[in-house]
Amino acid sequence: MDPNWPKKPAFQDLRRLLRGRLVKDRSLKKYTTYRVGGPADLYFEPLDRDDLAALMRYVHEREIPFFVIGKGANLLVSDKGFRGVVVNLQKGLKELNIRDLAVTAGSGAVLWDFLYEMQRNSLGGLEKLIGIPGTIGGAIYMNAGAFGSEISDCLVSVDVMKHNGEVVTLNKEQIPFGYRKGFTEPDKITLSITLRMKASDSAVLRSTMDEIWRRRKSTQPLSSPSAGSVFKRPPGKYAGVLIEQAGLKGTRVGGAVVSTKHANFILNKNHATAQNIYDLIKMIRDRVHRRFGVTLELENQLVGWDNVE
């Protein structure tokens, strides 16, 4: 990539080409739930699919890196930020269509709002995902799940846009979903998903959702910024239990602290930097590996870091 990116003409070119909001040097802090992260060279909110396609063609032809951000609920963005274009689909791609049990949702829709809409329409199957922060696009990328349910459970197909702006539909069977492994093809953006929901009683759905939300609040530290579980569950074990047994609850690096309520959460307690959080992650991995011989795999995703795994 051109080291002088973004040159002024490129910004002006894009201003002319695109209809949605385009901002230079946008801090990503307020777009991540950790509330850390440096600026994106460019930040773009497309108005619709065509606007997104125009950007995709432009960055594809010039080999400019881009990154789609959802609610940033699983991201650790570096203090240096992201060199390229960060795209936010929450304004332009949040449509919802319900036809009996078939539901199509735009990838920028917020999962929480979507699930309450399903409940109001007596459509079940994904109610146990209530309380997972993020968008539909982020949930499909991560195959987000909780309490034995995953977003892929009700999935029929995904509409995706390739880098050249072309739109294709992939059936669920074409995507190798797994535990926190969703649709992660790096050259494709999720535009919308189609689901087949289950006819359900709205009041029963509501009481399940209320109960799940109560359980989340009692077991998770929700009053400080975090990005949920930092590490994936190692086979047959719980990352939080290993971290707790390694004596790491309450351990701190700068403003980043291992939660005393749920040891697999790192909290931004006091103006933490992304580097503080990253250093704490490394410390936890080293300590757990030395103590139990288990290598913890990151569930949080690193964005804008050089030379890290």
Residue pair 138/70 in contact (Cβ under 8 Å)? The answer is yes
Query: Judged by CB under 6 A, does residue 81 bind ligand FAD?
Result: no
Q: What are the backbone dihedrals phi and psi of residue 106, each rounded to the nearest 5 degrees, phi first?
A: -70, 150
Burial of 156 (0-12, 13-18, 19+ CB in 10 A): middle
Quick one: which segment of 13-21, 112-120, 133-141, 196-204 binds ligand FAD (CB under 6 A)?
133-141
What six digits make up the tokens of 151? 């977003």
Q: Encoding tokens for residue 308? A: 């890290």
Q: Which stretch binds ligand FAD (CB under 6 A): 11-19, 72-80, 204-212, 277-285?
A: 72-80
Interaction pattern, residues 227-246, with ligand FAD; x per rule: CB under 6 A? xx------------------
Name which of residues 134 to 173 contact ligand FAD (CB under 6 A): 134-135, 137-139, 141-142, 144-146
Residue burial 73-98, b: 16+ Cβ < 10 Å; e: rest? bbbbbbbebbbbbbbbbbebbbebee
The residues pairing with 45 across neighbouring beta strands, listed in sequence order, are 21
Residues in 113-132 that interact with ligand FAD by CB under 6 A: 132
CA 167 to chain CA mean position, Å: 22
274 SS3 class: helix
Task: Mark whether 152 is an active-site residue.
Answer: no
Of 14-22, 62-70, 235-243, 270-278, the window that binds ligand FAD (rule: CB under 6 A) is 62-70
226 near ligand FAD (CB under 6 A)? yes
Residues serving a catalytic function are 180, 229, 299
Residue numbers of the site for ligand FAD (CB under 6 A)?
33, 67-75, 89, 107, 132-135, 137-139, 141-142, 144-146, 189-190, 220, 222, 226-228, 301
